[in-house]
Amino acid sequence: MKVKIYHNPRCSKSRQTLEILNKKKLDIDIIEYLKSPLECSEISSLLKKLGYTARDLLRRGEDIYKNKKLSDKSLTDDFLIDIMSKNPILIERPIVVCNDKAVIGRPPEKVLDIL
């Protein structure tokens, strides 16, 4: 089975999720999205697979979230997607995709729901 993980190796939840995938002996495509930021279209596709709005995918604890006042409810999904594309640290992690489904690995065991 082929899966894709949007991974940040510095994140313990991301590392734990990757470990679960490795133990399942899956064909894993690892995307370090901080090194290779996602295009807006890729983020939009992930949102559809997750069943999320752009706001749902934002990491609210990041300084950039506060500095850019991203809690403002009048900001559109398109705006938020664009800002996540330019500042990938804002994207919640890890994201695992299998076929047409995706899940955030928080807790890491949640990835088992789509395998």
The pTM of this model reads: 0.95
- Could you give all domains of the chain from N- to C-terminal order, each with its CATH number? 1-33+93-115 (3.40.30.10), 38-91 (3.40.30.10)
- Residue of 47, 49, 60 lying closest to 90 (CA atoms): 60
Which residues are the active-site residues?
Answer: 11
In this prediction, residue 103 carries a pLDDT of 98
Alpha helices in the chain (DSSP H): 12-23, 40-50, 54-57, 63-67, 77-86
- Residue of 98, 33, 108 lying closest to 42 (CA atoms): 33
The model's confidence at residue 96, banded by pLDDT at 50, 70 and 90, is very high
pLDDT in tens, 30-56: 999 999 999 999 999 999 999 999 999
